[in-house]
Structure 1
Amino acid sequence: MKEYVIKEVSLNELEECAEVIRQGFGTVAKDFGLTIENCATNGAFIKMSRLVSDKNRGNFMYSINVDDKIVGFMQLEKKSEEKYELEKITVLPEYRRYGYGEKLLVFAKIKVKRLNGKIISIGIIEENTILKQWYQKNGFIHKGTKKFDFLPFTVGFMEMIIE
């Protein structure tokens, strides 16, 4: 793993972050046959305007940078006094398997704890067993599933308790 920096994303970095999200989610979209027609809300099809909207709503956005290049992204949305949802977490395909995703998770845990949160929740493609196992290995517990008519997959819900 190369040296990295995790930092808050500024407005002028949102287009680069949107591209990182599109590339990162694009591999999963391809694997699961997701298209803009059957799953327009997937990160593979995100527009910068969505990130601007999320940031303006007060969501916390962070990038992980290597050699001044954004190679990963994550967003935290406050859902209640105790719960934060981890969204759009991704690492560029060529930077995977070096531990950058785990570094983002550790950072999220520290950030939520500093905000006096107690739970980090996430929704994933339930059928993505590799990703599900990765989250479990990193301290998340599977809490259930839900099938939405507008999505071509089952959503799996997971949580991590902050201690």
Structure 2
Amino acid sequence: MILHIREIVNQDLDECVRIIREGFLTVANEFGITVENCPSNGAFIKKERLEADKEKGNLMYGLFCDNSLIGFMQLEKADNESYYLEKLTVTPSHRHCGYGKTLLDLARKIVKELGGKWIGIGIVEENIRLKDWYTAYGFRHTGTKKFEHLPFTVGFMELNLE
């Protein structure tokens, strides 16, 4: 088994859509998130969204196992010191093997190399298991917000890189 991470190119986007949907669908099912009540959720992502994010300059990375994509993450620059980590996912069949941490380690490394001091995330606040996972990595909870268009509360967390 050979693992490697590389930057995503346009030819990878169809496969990225598949992986993001597969990874986010487990959470969507657990928390009653549907295309009707939350069409922007990763479980229902469309290629056009990734194309637009890439065009905006967002950085995208894929984790490959024997040349098959099994994980994904995206970084969006918020300002000179902060980046948002988005769409971090590992396929359900490859979870609990440390691959998510591998992607987080890469995010930390890249943001530091780019001069960033913070990584922010937004998660389903009710997803205690995920919140605990990010907390164990060093993220701290900074607040919550209920958006009218979302069927869950968004929890905000950040990782200080200094």
Report the equivalent of 1:122: 121
| Aligned counterparts of 1:50 and 1:154: Cα–Cα separation in 2 | 23
Confirm whether residue 101 of structure 1 aligns to residue 100 of structure 2. yes
| Aligned counterparts of 2:60 and 2:86: Cα–Cα separation in 1 | 9
Report the equivalent of 1:49: 48
Report the equivalent of 2:8: 9
Q: Report the AA paired with residue 73 of structure 2.
A: M
Percent sequence identity is 55
Cα deviation, 1:113-160, whole Å, max 9, x if unaligned, reads: 000000000000000000000000011000000000000000000000
How many matched pairs?
Answer: 162
SS at match of 2:20: helix
Query: Please, which runs of 5 or more residues in structure 1 have no aligned partner?
Result: none
Report the equivalent of 2:145: 146
| Aligned counterparts of 1:47 and 1:127: Cα–Cα separation in 2 | 25
Deviation for aligned residue 1:12: 0.4
| Aligned counterparts of 1:112 and 1:84: Cα–Cα separation in 2 | 7
Deviation for aligned residue 1:65: 0.4
SS at match of 1:150: coil
Confirm whether residue 33 of structure 1 aligns to residue 26 of structure 2. no
Report the equivalent of 1:157: 156
| Aligned counterparts of 1:71 and 1:111: Cα–Cα separation in 2 | 20
| Aligned counterparts of 1:91 and 1:152: Cα–Cα separation in 2 | 23
Report the equivalent of 1:70: 69
SS at match of 1:104: helix
Q: Report the AA paired with residue 116 of structure 2.
A: G
Query: Please, which runs of 5 or more residues in structure 2 have no aligned partner?
Result: none
Runs (4+) of structure 1 exceeding 6 A deviation are none
TM-score, normalised by the number of residues in structure 1 = 0.98
Across the aligned residues of Structure 1 and Structure 2, the Cα RMSD in angstroms comes to 0.6
| Aligned counterparts of 1:152 and 1:101: Cα–Cα separation in 2 | 25
| Aligned counterparts of 1:85 and 1:4: Cα–Cα separation in 2 | 25
Deviation for aligned residue 1:4: 1.2
Cα deviation, 1:8-55, whole Å, max 9, x if unaligned, reads: 000000010010000000000000011000010100000011000000
SS at match of 2:108: helix
Deviation for aligned residue 1:3: 3.7
| Aligned counterparts of 2:39 and 2:8: Cα–Cα separation in 1 | 24
Q: Report the AA paired with residue 94 of structure 2.
A: Y
